[in-house]
Each structure stands twice: as C-alpha cells, then as structure tokens.
Structure 1
Amino acid sequence: MTDTLHLVDAAALADLGRYAARARALDEQGAMRLHASGPVLAAWVGVLPGSGILAEGTVLGLRTFALADPAECDLVVPLAAVTDRTARHAGTGELPLPPTRALATWSAVTPPRSGWEPAGEVPADDLALVARAGLAQVGAAVRERGAAAGFVRDRVWGDEAAPGVRAGGAFAAFSLGFLAPGSTVSVLRSNRWTRLTAAGGHVLMR
C-alpha cells in the first residue's frame, strides 16, 4: 500500500482540506475514509449516523479527486489528521497518509457503485433553504433542551426536503459546501439508497 497520495495539483489538495474542515465542523472527532483505486481518490465522510442492523438513516458525503499517480488504499483516518496534512503540505499535491486509524461505524456501510436510476431533480437553492431552516430549529432545541434535543434533531432531519429526499440530505449537501447557488441537484436511487449529485459532491442516504 502506498504511503503518500499524489493529487493532481496543489489546488486539489487545498480542496480536499476545505472538504475535511467542513466535515470536521460537523464532528470534531469525525473520520474520513480514503479509498484510492487507480487514478481516483474517493473521500467519504459521515454526516448523520444510521440505526439498526440496516443502518437506516445513514447520511454520507462523498467527494472524488483525481490522482497524478495511480494508487491503491482503503483506510479510515481522523479528520484532524487530514486537515493537518493538507495544511502542512499546502503548495503541493502530496497527501502523506496518516498512520493513525479511526473507528467509524458508517465506514462499514457501502452504497452501491452501480445500478443508480434517475429519480428527478431539485433546485439547490430549495435544499439550502431547507437546511438553513432545519439548522435554526435544531439550534433552538439545543439551547432550550440541551442533551434532550436529540429527538428534535432526528425529526427535523427525517422530514422530507423534496419528494423522496430527506432533509438530512439537504443538511449534508449544504454543510459540506456542495450546493452552488442557482444550480440543480440530481436525485438517483438504487435499492434502499438515495443519492444527491450536486455541483460540489455527492450525498448518499439510506
């Protein structure tokens, strides 16, 4: 297994760093799955945890990055290690793989790679509005109820943002910076999974 990933340029490494920083703002102790296969790096993050044997309610973020040199790796590392390395190697495309591994239950949940069927489109601006409104509701519940606000959070992000699209997906796309104003987000489905493909990345929901 390689010990350093070579992204195509410094801009790509900086983009990965910004993505990791946004995910870390959602979960300071969060993790990123780095899955390189040939010329592509898939960088996964967990946004909302699922529950039960089928991990229902899981919401994941995905960005892909081109590699200058083909590589093979599949590991889960702390987000803090990714932001640290992208900052220290700014100006290059090099990402030394962190030696520390992280535990993330969502990393064992693998969405399908094929079989996706188009299921409509949603304006990115509509998803952003849903995400902002949900954040305001969740924030108010946390201020009023503290630790007891969990059920409010689950209800808010479990509501529909669009037909067949949970608000948790809007929250993930907005928080991870995937939504470009005025753009359109594609909705796709495969078995129990729904995928939002936006200008800046993908959100996968089970």
Structure 2
Amino acid sequence: MTASTAERLVFADPGEAAGLAAFLGRLVRWEKNAAVRIRSAGGVAGVFAKPVRFEVLAVRTGRLLEPVELDVTVSAGELLERVDEQHEAVGVPAAVTGPSWAGLLPPRGGWEEFGTVPVDAVMSVAAAAIGEFKERAEKLPPQQRERGTLDALAEEIWSRPLGRTGLPLRAAHAAHALGFLRGAGAASLTRTGAWLRLRTAYGSVVVRRPGGGSGGGLSVTPV
C-alpha cells in the first residue's frame, strides 16, 4: 500500500487508537491548525509533531495489524476526527503543505541507549520547573508581565540541563504536557549524531543539539 492509496491504519494492540487520540487532542488544544507527519514502514506507524512553544519533536508510534507504506503530512485536527477507537484504527486525511520542521527529522537508524531515568523523577523535575515559572511570573510587577518578559523567563528555565542527560528541561516539560510521563518504570535515553531522545511507553520527545547536522528521518521503532 503506497502513500497515495493508504486510507486507513489499523493498530495491532489494544488502546493504541485512544492513545493517539489523546496525543492529537493535546496538540490541537495548543494549536488549532497543527500539522503532523505520518510515516509508516512495514508494520509500524509513527505520528510526528512539533508542539507549539516547546521547541522539541514528539512522536507516538504503534504496531499495525497489516504492513502499510505511508509518508504524508496531514492536519492534526482532521486526523483526530478520523480516530476510530472501537476498531483500533484511524483514517488518513488528505495531505497538507507541511511546516518546515516536517522536512528535518532525525536519522532513521543508529540510535544507541546511553542510560535510563525513573519516570517519576522526570515528572518531579518538570513539575518543579513549572512551579518555578509560575511563582517567578506572579512576582513580576504587572507592567512587566508582557509576552517578551515571560518568554525570556521560560527560555531561561527550560534551557537548563535535565541532570546529566544532555537534554534540556523543555524535553521533560513536553513529555509531561503530552502525557508521556505516566505510571512507574524508567524512561530510556537514546542518541544518534546530534539528536537525543527521551522515550517512555507512551511516546518520545526528541531534541537536536546545537551545531548538529541534518538528518533523514526518525526511526518508527515502537516506543
């Protein structure tokens, strides 16, 4: 099945359609006109997004009941409308002109795991940073609570390193906001070239280190 004829993706595992719907719902709440790139190779499909304000790439992947070859950028809202939770499937809407980020994804292969970190620890760090932002923003004089000042404060906080992982705190913030930090267990830390990835059972957040070269396409190995 090619990109021009793929009309429906059917997931192999229970709950995948609901998880995709939750992911898309968060994206659309932040950005009504958000776009996502769908890439499917063999029996695995990945949905890639760049959530507004976070400056990271997010991906949710799932195994398919039957192999499908597909690479298309679509409206996140239209894709959400086509999620069929009862039948663990999603219809593929018409292609749209993709944003610039959709053409610059990390390499397909070469990922290596260099560590793990407890999910609850990442959640705690993200929650503490969110609390710090709110507290410092509330202490600003009313005349200073304008977009430029708040953006600078956010950049200061979210650019800090996440421990010794090499990831910025914005990766933890995005994972928290996207619902990727749930339950117990550990998040996997992987890297390839200039790219770093925080991966849990619910999705991945990927960042590109400054000065890195471009890549050809993120692997859609199940998370």
TM-score, normalised to structure 1's length? Answer: 0.83
User: Which residue in 2 is equivalent to 1:156?
Assistant: 157
Q: How far does the alpha carbon of each residue in 1:59-101 deviate from its partner, in whole angstroms, 9 at most, with x for none?
A: 1111111112221211112221122111xx3312332211251
Alignment of 1:20-35 (within 5 A): 20-35=24-39
Q: From the superposition, tell whether residues 156 and 18 of structure 1 become closer, same or farther in structure 2 (CA, over 3 Å).
A: same
Task: Report matched runs for 1:1-206 at 5 Å.
Answer: 1=4, 2-8=6-12, 11-47=15-51, 58-86=55-83, 89-139=84-134, 141=137, 145-148=145-148, 149-163=150-164, 164-206=166-208
- Say which SS state the counterpart of residue 135 (structure 1) adopts: helix
Structure 1: stretches of 5+ with no match in the other structure: 50-56
Asked whether the 8 Å contact 2:13–2:63 carries over to 1, the reply is no
Measure, in 2, the Cα distance between the counterparts of 1:173 and 1:166: 12
Of the two, which has the highest radius of gyration?
Answer: 2
Distance 1:29 1:113 in 2: 27
Deviation of 1:110 (Å): 1.4
**1:42: how far off?**
0.7
**AA matched with 2:154:** R
SS in 1 for 2:17: helix
SS of equivalent to 2:68: strand
Q: Distance in 2 between matches of 1:11 and 1:199?
A: 12
Cα deviations by residue, 1:22-69 (Å, 9 ceiling, x for unpaired): 2333433322111111211111111367xxxxxxx9411111111122
In structure 2, give the amino acid aligned to 1:173: A
Instruction: State the TM-score, normalizing by the size of structure 2.
Output: 0.78
Q: Helix, strand or coil: the match of 1:44?
A: strand
1:155-191 CA-partner distances (Å, limit 9, x unpaired): 2211112211210110121111112333211212211
Q: Provide the secondary structure at the position in 1 that maps to 2:187.
A: strand
One-letter code of the match for 2:127?
R
- Flag the structure with higher strand content: 1
Q: CA deviation at 1:137?
A: 4.0
Contact kept in structure 1, 2:30 and 2:52, CA below 8 Å: no
Counterpart contact for 2:34–2:75, Cα < 8 Å: yes
Query: Relative to 1, partners in 2 of residues 1:162 and 1:27: Cα closer, same or farther, differing over 3 Å?
Result: farther
Aligned length: 197
